[in-house]
Structure 1
Amino acid sequence: MASKPILISGAGVASLLLAQSLRRASIPFQIFERDASPSFRAQGYRLRLSAEGLDAIKSVLSPADFSTFWDACGKTGGSGFGSLNAVTGENLSQDSGPPKAVDQEAKGGSLSLQSRGDKVVGIARGEMRRLFMTGCEPFIKWSHNVTGYELTASGVHAIFADGSMSEEGEMLVGGEGMYSKVAQQLSQGRLKVFDTGARGIHGQAPTTAFKDLGEGVWRLIDDTRSDGRVFVITNVRPNDMDDPNVQFGWTMCGQPGVIKPPNENFTIIGKPAADIAKSITAQWHPRVKPLFDHMVESEAAFWKITCSTPSGVPEWPNEPRVTVIGDAVHSMTPAGGIGANTAVRDSGVLGRLLTESGGLANGVTAAYEKEMRVYGSEAVKASYNQAKNQFGVVIDETTSAIV
């Protein structure tokens, strides 16, 4: 057993799932999270889980914990992935039978929309995070913003924004998202994140607002605007559709120039975001308009759509004591719901390697990064290609990186 803990930067779903793997293997760990508490900020939208993502989660959790996780997931059948004209209310396309693919516009990639038993499986990000946090609470230090690291002769220290340092750890795993300072230091600037120019809004409404859609995974499309295309993705599950106390979520995406928050301030939440969503959907069909007329304004939030280098995860000199997972290494657009599934695969792979070696051992980070670059690069390419078709975005050598 390792005498020093494995340090983990960030307490998102990938970091917490990795922590669950270490906890089961009795490998000590310590998590540092910049937020002040688990409820400090909104946890975002509902996640669709691919077969690959579910397999990764199942490989980490105990049978009892996975059973609890599975029971918390929603399972949507219906007619699969349906597309609807948001202005006229007409069906644009309707798959018969179980969902076939993430999106017919996908070019490359192997993730499928169908997850288990001809159902689309999904869970709210906040609920997923809460379940993965179970048992890890004593090992999370809140209000600790990791801004870098310092290697020692036998380990590593995390460096915090106030200049202080953590205890010495056996290794450091950067999982603090696309603005990860650990990722920038480790990759020597090779890991880049680009602003696609596309924008989004997350929202929620009582399930009764979704009744005219019916069960299924829906894409609502508005191609009538002069400033660009808008579409909304939502997952309508059957069991709670008549309960006004339960809410379903939706995600609105617009091509560059369509969704403009005040002063381009994407930290604003609540009514400003809700007002823009209501303005955009003011002329939409009564079949879908209740999703926005009855939205919970306090839950609305803007969203800047970003993407890592579309060509894939770059190479950098391996550091045996430091590596990165999740959005810190492969930030993706929302197209296809690929990002979270790839992040939990990272947790599964790295957790397995650390478990097999009883902690950090020679070659662990190199073996993880070699495997991750294959599926991670495939996922980034698939996500970008879908976003290119859906959002009209282009990332090339002239695009400025935000990280």
Structure 2
Amino acid sequence: MSTTPPPQKPILISGAGLASLLLAQSLLLSRIPFLLFERDASFVFRAQGYRLRLSHEGLDAIESVLSPETFQRFWDTCGKTSGAGFAVLDAVTGEKAAVDLSGAGPGPRGGLVSRGDKVVGIARGEMRRVFAEGCEEFIQWGREVVGYELTEGGVKAVFADGAKSVEGSLLVGGEGIRSGVAKQLSGGKLKVYDTGARGIHGQAPTTAFRGLGEGVFIILDGSRADGAVSIITNVRPGGMDDPTVNFGWTMVGKPGVIRPPGDDHTIVGKVAADVAKSLTTHWHPRFKPLLDDMDVNEAAFWKITCSTPSGVPEWPNEPRVTVIGDAAHSMTPAGGIGANTAVRDSALLGRLLREAGGCKPGVTEAYEKEMRVYASEAVGQSYSAATRQFGVKIDEDTPTV
């Protein structure tokens, strides 16, 4: 009689975003088998989004997962900003604005700093690239997960074409705000609301940022009758005279101010760039290069969403299914804490799985209990800041996505 134990069923992960890939890194280092299912055809299928600011909680979570060598590469890729620190500038006059955005934006400089008295940030695409190292062979592209099926001995992911995955020991829904796994698992309790606010991501050569200098800036236009528009950007040292290197900025407008044609926030390129330029024609010349010199092809709209402001709801625990990242707690960009909360999910769930030697009874229950505490606090902070900065309000009539 053979004494060889049966092969361990893989942990199935839906989506290949940041939280999913960091969880995969944790499983890889723990030698726990896994498979990722991603609806896109590749990492370059669509724009990677804006630059992320990393809090000390986010950095600690990432460092706890990655090997020392990989974390060093990650750290070397990050930008570290000091300079003038956080400042709010009047978009029309070009001068420092006489407004108090404490609590409405990312906060004063003390709230931005994460390590070594520096503001640490990284492009989403670069972060995804590092997190994907060593995991590529376990990603199945073009597989959109819409739900799951519990089996006698595990769980199977159900794809949009009706096919099903191999049987896994656990399914982790990390496919973002439209997660079918989250809706099925929570019985519809996990909701993501469309706040009505919209944004535009843009990039321009570093030479366009010389008029700002090093630091983290909000360029605020409060002169509009239909509501304020602002741009936030992190101007880092190095490459300021190299027109081949781009820095990014993110524009946000109150509901109704930024209007993508047909409210299609998936539009990228010239249409998005033209809207950004039309909203800023009266801005001070100090800021015009950010718009005039922008890389038109990289411009993209985005929809600002938020989970239930009261926090992550409770649902009956299912030992074989759970959710991470935006699937569990979508946040507005106010405060810059969404991605940092997502990587905390990955670190926590990965640690519990490593300590248990795989998916064992109690793992998802322990994860969800702890995740609800810090994630609910983060959602509340994000929403409160967004109500002040973007003028959003979520109530029973707010549409969901």
TM-score, length of structure 2 as denominator length: 0.96
The Cα shift of 1:79 comes to: 1.9
- Contact 1:193–1:309 (8 Å) recurs in 2: yes
Query: 1:18 corresponds to which letter in structure 2?
Result: L
User: What is the match of residue 344 of structure 1?
Assistant: 343
Q: Does 1:61 align with 2:57?
A: no
User: Is residue 56 of structure 2 the alignment partner of residue 51 of structure 1?
Assistant: yes
TM-score of the aligned structures, taking structure 1 as reference length? 0.95
Give the equivalent residue in structure 2 for 1:98: none
What residue is the counterpart of 1:18 in the other structure? 23
Partner of 1:138: 137
Matches within 5 A, 1:4-403: 4-92=9-97, 103-105=102-104, 112-402=111-401
Whether the 8 Å CA contact 1:106–1:382 is kept in 2: the answer is no
Work out whether residues 81 and 94 of structure 1, in 8 Å CA contact, stay in contact via their aligned partners in 2.
Answer: no
Q: Which whole-Å CA distance do the structure 2 matches of 1:231 and 1:220 have between them?
A: 5
3-state SS in 2 of match to 1:337: coil
Which amino acid counterpart does residue 198 of structure 1 have in structure 2?
A
Deviation at 1:232, TM superposition (A): 0.5
5+ residue gaps, structure 1: 96-101
After TM superposition, give the deviation of residue 107 of structure 1 in Å. Answer: 11
Amino acid at match of 1:289: K
Is the 8 Å Cα contact of residues 107 and 382 (structure 1) preserved in structure 2?
no
State how far apart, in whole Å, the 2-side matches of 1:359 and 1:240 are: 45
SS at match of 1:234: strand
The C-alpha deviation readout for 1:167-205, integer Å capped at 9, x for no partner, is 000110000001000000000000001111111000000
85-94 or 117-126: which moved more?
A: 85-94
Q: In the alignment, is the contact (CA less than 8 A) between 1:312 and 1:381 conserved in 2?
A: yes
Question: Cα offset for 1:94?
Answer: 10
Question: 1:270-297 deviations in whole A, cap 9, x for unaligned?
Answer: 0000000011111111111100000000
Contact 2:104 2:334 in 1 (8 A): no
Q: Distance in 1 between matches of 2:177 and 2:103?
A: 27
Call closer, same or farther: CA 1:107–1:203 in 2, change over 3 Å.
Answer: closer
CA distance in 2, matches of 1:46, 1:243: 19
Q: What do the CA deviations read for 1:133-186 (whole angstroms, capped 9, x no partner)? A: 000000000000001000011100000011000000011000000100000000
Query: How much has 1:78 moved relative to structure 2?
Result: 1.1
Cα 1:107–1:217 change in 2 (3 A) is closer
Mean Cα deviation higher: 84-93 or 325-334: 84-93
- How much has 1:104 moved relative to structure 2? 3.6
- Name the aligned partner's letter for residue 358 of structure 2: G
* Offset, 1:400: 2.4
Provide the rounded CA distance (Å) in 2 between the counterparts of 1:344 and 1:396.
28
- 2:117 is paired with a residue whose SS is coil
Q: Tell me the SS of whatever aligns to 1:334.
A: coil
Q: Deviations over 1:191-238 (max 9, x none)?
A: 001111111000000000000000000000000111110000100001
The separation in 1 between residues aligned to 2:298 and 2:104, in whole angstroms, is 30
The question of whether the paired residues in 2 share the 8 Å contact of 1:34 and 1:144 is answered with yes
Gap regions ≥5 residues in structure 2: none
Query: In structure 1, how many angstroms separate the alpha carbons of the residues matched to 2:198 and 2:86?
Result: 22
Shift of the alpha carbon at 1:106?
6.8
Q: May I ask how many residue pairs the two structures share in their alignment?
A: 394
